[in-house]
Amino acid sequence: MHHFNYRNGELFCEDVPVKAVVEASGTPCYLYSHATLTRHFQEFSNAFQGMDRLVCYSAKANTNLAILRLFEKMGGGLDIVSGGELYRGLAAGFSAECIVYSGVGKMVDEIDFALEEGILMFNVESIEELKLLNERAKTLGKTAPVALRVNPDVDPKTHPYISTGLNKNKFGIDTEGAMEGYRLAQTLSNIRVRGIDCHIGSQITESTPFKDALKSLVGLVRKLKDMGILLEHIDVGGGLGIIYDDESPPLPVEYARAIVGALKGTSLKLILEPGRVIVGNAGTLITRVLYRKKGKAKEFVIVDAAMNDLIRPSLYHAYHAVWPVVRTRRKKIRADVVGPICESGDFLAEDREMTDAKKGELLAVMSAGAYGFSMASNYCSRPRVAEVMVKGDRFHIVRARETYEDLIRGESIPAFIGAQ
Ligand code: LLP
């Protein structure tokens, strides 16, 4: 469910015609619906009504300050994986006590930053990290609140690049290792054990992997209790999938039923880290057709957005629907939608039955709110595009399009090469 709809054949975001946004911001641009963002956050959080919970939005899905601020105002916490995301979270107004920090490679300066700010919990992914955390906390005169991220060896049945809960993945600590880790944590002076954590993958479209993972975690919680180690929080990660094409992921209420059912009998405070399910369908990437070209084997719709703006199709062969901004009665075509970048892997859609969009016309690449702009790069020295948020009949450019000056900011030519 989202708020991108046609009115008299023309695409609107809420009450704003997409064309009006393009007049102000140019193309390509990301376009976000405030109503969809709000609705998805509420729907997700309400699904867990009655539970003691903190919905820590997973910043990596979309780190725009306006989006972070919106979820902060709605009572959310934040899931971060870097010092940069911590910085953004604080800049958006989150209090550190609502922030959980995951990641296999936390660096000393990032750990120190998070300790100084006093975050809710470090989701620790190795014994070496646990020891380093203890050392850094001692040096800074702090106590580090931790959960161990458990790798339950569950197959989330998603793209291999985004499955994280299998033994062969780099994430978390296996169940036996975690028991050892908790025992060790008890002996470390500047560590306070607060919880347990897992995150098994992303774009998961069934409930069973979540249930299986939690079963394993709850088993551990019980064993720890028998050993006298009492936890306060259980962080179940993110991962709930969305509809890009013809998937049928569980609804948030169904997902919640699975989670809550698996947690029966424990009295832990629930932490959730949803990303995609909140922002994915709340955003589109608007692009303009530059050229049409018919090759011997294929037809191409060449647009001004590229893999540097939205890498998901190139990286995961991910499907994103492509809609015309103005509907026509023309016969459909079969084509590749490609960008200007000098790689054959630069496509937004492959072999797609689609609208017969002509030079100069606008297209909307749908479901681009998650892992769209946040994975964008400056490859081929392409300035990153503008981001715009719509609310009702108003819109605001929440990130300006980068300029050529932005592209070379911070670079300098050394004297041994010679000034210009
Ligand atoms: N928590 C942790 C520790 C994570 O690593 C992730 C995502 C999430 C929460 C949020 O997961 P979500 O609810 O969004 O599925 N770039 C890929 C997705 C990578 C996900 C990485 N971790 C994509 O475009 O599909």
In this predicted structure, which of 61-65, 277-281, 414-418 has the lowest mean pLDDT? 414-418
The DSSP bridge pattern shows strands 29-33 and 233-235 to be unpaired
| Ligand 1, CB within 6 Å, residue ranges | 58, 60-61, 79, 102, 162, 199, 202-203, 237-240, 273-277, 312, 316, 370-371, 375
As a whole number of angstroms, the distance between CA 246 and CA 251 comes to 14
pLDDT at 157: 84
The full set of domain ranges for the chain reads 4-31+280-408, 34-279
Q: Compute, in angstroms, the gap from residue 103 CA to the centroid of ligand 1.
A: 11
pLDDT at 420: 73
229 is written with which tokens?
């180690």
Q: Which of 62, 276, 348 for a ligand 1 pocket mutation test, highest count of atoms within 8 Å of Cβ?
A: 276
pLDDT at 162: 79
- Answer yes or no: is pLDDT of 113 > 80: yes
Closest by Cα among 110, 107, 196, 108 to 145: 196
The minimum-distance atom of ligand 1 relative to the CA of 149 is 3
Task: Report the interhelical angle of 208-226 vs 252-262 (nearest 10°).
Answer: 30
pLDDT at 343: 97
Region 68-94: what's the mean pLDDT? 98
Annotate 183-236 with DSSP letters as a single string.
HHHHH-TTEEEEEEE---BSSB--SHHHHHHHHHHHHHHHHHHHTT---SEEE-
- In sequence order, which residues have a C-beta less than 8 Å from that of residue 237 and are 6 or more positions away? 197, 198, 199, 200, 272, 273
Q: Which of 29, 56, 342, 380 is catalytic?
A: 342
As a whole number of angstroms, the distance between CA 314 and CA 311 comes to 5
Q: Name the CATH superfamily for 4-31+280-408.
A: Lyase, Ornithine Decarboxylase; Chain A, domain 1 (2.40.37.10)
1-26 pLDDT, tens digit each: 899 999 999 999 999 999 999 999 99
pLDDT at 96: 98
Identify the band that residue 402 occupies on the pLDDT scale cut at 50, 70 and 90: very high
Residue owning the nearest CA to atom 8 of ligand 1? 238
Give the strand order in the sheet containing 10-13.
Answer: 4-7, 10-13, 16-17
The minimum-distance atom of ligand 1 relative to the CA of 277 is 13
pLDDT at 155: 87
Average pLDDT, the chain: 96
119-175 pLDDT, tens digit each: 999 999 999 999 999 999 999 999 999 999 999 988 888 888 877 888 888 999 999
Q: Compute, in angstroms, the gap from residue 200 CA to the centroid of ligand 1.
A: 9
What is the chain's percent helix, strand, coil content, to nearest 5?
A: 35, 25, 40
120 is written with which tokens?
């809710």
Query: Is 342 labeled as catalytic in the residue annotation?
Result: yes
What single DSSP character describes residue 201? B
Q: Which of 58, 100, 161, 196 for a ligand 1 pocket mutation test, highest count of atoms within 8 Å of Cβ?
A: 58
**Dihedral sign of CA atoms 26, 3, 43, 150 in order:** negative
CA 17 to chain CA centroid, Å, is 27
CA 403 to chain CA centroid, Å, is 26
Q: What is the largest CA-CA distance in the chain?
A: 71
The minimum-distance atom of ligand 1 relative to the CA of 276 is 14
Identify the band that residue 176 occupies on the pLDDT scale cut at 50, 70 and 90: very high
pLDDT at 58: 98
As a whole number of angstroms, the distance between CA 40 and CA 127 comes to 36
Residue owning the nearest CA to atom 19 of ligand 1? 162
Residue owning the nearest CA to atom 9 of ligand 1? 238
| Backbone φ and ψ of 74, nearest 5° | -90, 5
The DSSP bridge pattern shows strands 322-324 and 362-365 to be antiparallel
- Answer yes or no: is pLDDT of 412 > 90: yes
Region 288-298: what's the mean pLDDT? 96
**Dihedral sign of CA atoms 77, 79, 82, 84 in order:** negative
The minimum-distance atom of ligand 1 relative to the CA of 102 is 3
- Answer yes or no: is pLDDT of 419 > 90: no
The minimum-distance atom of ligand 1 relative to the CA of 204 is 15
181-217 pLDDT, tens digit each: 999 999 999 999 999 999 999 999 999 999 999 999 9
Cα→Cα distances 308→59, 85, 162, 168, 381, Å? 20, 21, 19, 29, 10
Q: Which of 60, 121, 279, 377 for a ligand 1 pocket mutation test, highest count of atoms within 8 Å of Cβ?
A: 60
pTM of this structure: 0.97
Region 384-398: what's the mean pLDDT? 98
As a whole number of angstroms, the distance between CA 209 and CA 272 comes to 16
Q: Where are the beta strands (DSSP E) in 249-314?
A: 269-272, 283-294, 299-303
Closest by Cα among 24, 80, 5, 7 to 374: 80
310 is written with which tokens?
């939205």
Residue owning the nearest CA to atom 24 of ligand 1? 371
Q: Compute, in angstroms, the gap from residue 329 CA to the centroid of ligand 1.
A: 39
Q: What angle do CA 82, 87, 89 make, to 5 degrees?
A: 95
Q: Name the CATH superfamily for 34-279.
A: Alanine racemase (3.20.20.10)
- Answer yes or no: is pLDDT of 391 > 90: yes
Residue owning the nearest CA to atom 5 of ligand 1? 199
pLDDT at 168: 86
Cα→Cα distances 386→109, 133, 279, 376, Å? 31, 38, 17, 11
Q: Compute, in angstroms, the gap from residue 35 CA to the centroid of ligand 1.
A: 23
Q: Compute, in angstroms, the gap from residue 203 CA to the centroid of ligand 1.
A: 8
Closest by Cα among 325, 321, 328, 329 to 353: 321
Residue owning the nearest CA to atom 23 of ligand 1? 371
| Backbone φ and ψ of 49, nearest 5° | -50, 140
